[in-house]
Amino acid sequence: MANDEVIRVFVGADRSQMLAVPVLEHSIKRHTDARVEVIPMLDLPVPAPKDPRNSQRTGFSFSRFCIPKLAGYQGKAIYMDADMLVFRDIRELWNIPFDGAKVIIQKEVKHEDVTLNKAGAPKKRKKQCAVMLLDCGRLDWDIEHIVREMDEEKYDYEGLMYDLCILAEDEVKFGVPFEWNSLEHYDSETRLIHYTDVYTQPWTAVGNPWGDLWLDEVRLMLRTGALTWEMVRKEVDLGYFRPSLLTDLKYRQRFPSWARSWLDKRNIVKDKLSRYVPHKEVYAQKRIRQQAIKAYEAQLAAKRSNDA
């Protein structure tokens, strides 16, 4: 990469994860001397599909498709989710060659058998587009056009998000190593850990096996002034972060590893007594979406019955 090149990292996030964005940014910049610009994408003006079954699963599911336009259809960009930490020089990721493709996504999912055994894990780990490289100068994506084509039933949510059906097969390269999107796994080769299981993200849940990595990053930010206690307390007061997080940040590192399970149990009680509900707004939006789908399918069934 050229010395004056800026690595642009667009981060998908909703309000509940906004403080996770500067933590991710801090971890990226701490491991590189490259020029990096981190751009959070929050509340983008994304149209809602007519069919609620095609609607966003999160508040930022479609944000990645806005990146080429946000980048002025010029240069390269990286997409990441907010619930991540980086441990190596991001130039490793940035310099992966496109080899004629327009988008580079993850090669494979490793350690599936281990990570699926943890509490809150899904039944299967799908191939991920949570870390992507985009050649913005060769992508003509426009989110309004993409949603309009879904409304015209040219493809659905699964085809868009999981198959990237808006691109030809040779326009997608499976080139991002698992180590750059390590799902709930950490070892000596991990470049990026993805806290993808919302039930166990370290800022909302107690006892994530790799939660101390995130806590250590936040403690470093607090020591250097990159983050303040007031900022963390605000997220707790708003209900986005667990109340026991403040206890963990102050005292957890002082406990020997064998005694931390006692602290975890104490923190779980503390969060329950505080009536903390993890991802309260996220699950409220999920219920709204499910109700909309139920009503929509009832309308389709009634129409089919009338047409018959």
Residue (of 70, 132, 78, 145) closest to 105 by Cα position: 132
**Interval 194-206: pLDDT, tens:** 999 888 999 999 9
Helix (H, G, I), strand (E, B) or coil at 85: strand
How, if at all, do strands 172-176 and 103-106 pair? parallel
Is residue 118 pLDDT above 50, yes or no?
Answer: no
Domain boundaries, the chain: 6-281
Quote the pLDDT of residue 204: 95
Fold of 6-281: Spore Coat Polysaccharide Biosynthesis Protein SpsA; Chain A (3.90.550)
Is residue 1 pLDDT above 80, yes or no?
Answer: no
Average model confidence (pLDDT) across the chain: 91
Quote the pLDDT of residue 3: 65
Helix (H, G, I), strand (E, B) or coil at 126: coil
- Contact yes or no for 21/11 (Cβ under 8 A): yes
pTM of this structure: 0.89
- Contact yes or no for 244/267 (Cβ under 8 A): yes
Quote the pLDDT of residue 122: 47
d(CA 285, CA 15): 13
Is residue 98 pLDDT above 60, yes or no?
Answer: yes
Quote the pLDDT of residue 277: 92
d(CA 17, CA 278): 12
What is the DSSP code (8-state) at residue 75?
A: S
Instruction: Work out the average pLDDT over 248-262.
Output: 92
**Interval 201-230: pLDDT, tens:** 999 999 899 999 999 999 999 999 999 999
Is residue 73 pLDDT above 50, yes or no?
Answer: yes
